[in-house]
Structure 1
Amino acid sequence: MVNTVDFITPPVDDPYWFGQISAANSISDVYSMGGKPVTALNLVMFPSRHLDMGYLKEILRGGHDKVQEAGACLVGGHSVDDEEPKYGLCVNGVVHPDRIITNAGARPGDALILTKPIGSGVLFNAVRSGKFPYPELEREVLPSIAALNGPAMEAALRFELHACTDLTGFGILGHLLEMAQGADARIRVRYRELPFYPGALEMYRKGETTGSNRPNRAMVARCELDMRCALNGAEEELLYDPQTSGGLLLALPASQADELLAELHAGGVKAARLIGEVVSGAVGIEVV
């Protein structure tokens, strides 16, 4: 059995999108371990005296639909009154004990594949501040954020997958650092191969940021970070952008990477990219 729990505040005002995104975010932890979600429990915090209960109904409908899409059963939950809405899931899944995937098994010679774009954190904040139009976010970004990581992991498990993690609040460099530490190796990431959501770079250029960028930068600064490519400030900030329901970061033998990429693209995971590799050396990250 694998068990996980997660909940978030609303990244967008639309309650149905909020429910879908939060559920996909919660379920992703089971997928990242190679597991299959089986049951889920709702975790609800809601200001019932300040918001219409119809808002809550739509949050729960979004979560229910995403749990069903994952092939799991929503079997109950718990709610409390709170000052602001929060929603998530406790997810229970199964995985063969010999096939549990962690973020610590990458090996020198592995290729690294990322399955979703980066930049959701700054875009959510930019919508709130009026710098980015919500209709564009809904059209170009939210479907990817709310997408389950199940199809990507199902494809990856057909290969010699050594390590996996799902991108969340630490940003791409934070999660690469965890993978490098787990492998006791060095990770080389090719900046120009990283997929970014449309508009994310522009928002950093306009001065938008998130509350997580600075602590994420401080966390990565404690390791050996070798910036070998010339990036401006906005381009660099994208490396620390916190993700909600981010993609999977997959490590597998380089000889299998192209075939996995082809399967991911054929299976609808169109944003998947080969972004770097694991190399021998002192624990750290090279951005080239």
Structure 2
Amino acid sequence: MMESVNSTKFLEIFGDVAAKGFINPIILTDVRIGFSIQKSYPEGIRFKPAKNEFGVADNVAVIWVVCEEKRVSEDGLAPIRFRISMMSTYRAKNWDYDYSDKECPTRESVIQSSKTPKPMDLDLVGEYFYDQNRNTLVDSGGNEVLGVAILEELFLEHCNSVHLIKGAKRRAKAYIDSLPVRILSVIIPIIAIILKKIFGRTLDESLDRSTYLDGYLPKNLKVTEDDFIELAGYRAAKRVIVIYAFIVALFCLFYLPTNPGTYLDYLVGSDFLLIVHTILFLVILDVVIPQGLFRLLNSLIRIRKWFLNRQLSRIYK
């Protein structure tokens, strides 16, 4: 029965959207049943949209509505997915702002708008459904609802997100939910910088892999050919040799001369033991520690992905 419903008929089910100030409905092309619709922001909220010299606001709220027909339940209910976000109508049609164009918002209004709080992007999934048996919209309890009322509710929540009091709870929840991801997104680049600046390792991206979500492959951890120095028969990155020399200098400063009969005395007096310990220490600095940091980096990337998936599951639960 879903085959008899298309995007145009689906839009009609939402009722008289124009009467509530919704404009410019557009049929989506990437899904079979879905549309987007716009509404201008009211004057009384803290967010101030950019305007052109004629006083026409550039920023509008856009709501995308998609009927997930492939997830129809046995009762004939198809989940409806909503998303609302702010959009620049001028930049949607042009590459960027062209302040010489009279239709473009003025530079001053763009700057002024950027100083005001931006309404939050919101998603709404799993609360409303299309009932194909009754050709109507229902809530999770099976009660019939007006489509335009859903759009109004989502738009109001979107506008309230910039309110000092009404939007405080949602902003606080969004901040707490995103905190682990933001912390990890700071730590991960620091580890990458340590690998590069201290241990002479570079991390190359893969064209066929999302390193942001899935991490790096062992082949992505590289040292360029001219970054090597050979010491005691072992080839190590230049920066590792510098670190090794610095540690040896500190050792000499604090532990030489050695006491007779001690292990350090035998170590300093034996060329063989010195070479063995030098190579062992270089392997630790040049292989063990960089590989350990590389594994830690990938582990943190996977943890970040887990937190991102948890955030999405909260949206789509």
Q: Same fold (TM over 0.5)?
A: no
More helix by share: 2
TM-score by length of 1: 0.23
Larger Rg: 2
Q: Return the structure number with greater relative CO, CA threshold 8 A, min gap 6.
A: 1
Q: TM-score, normalised by structure 2?
A: 0.22
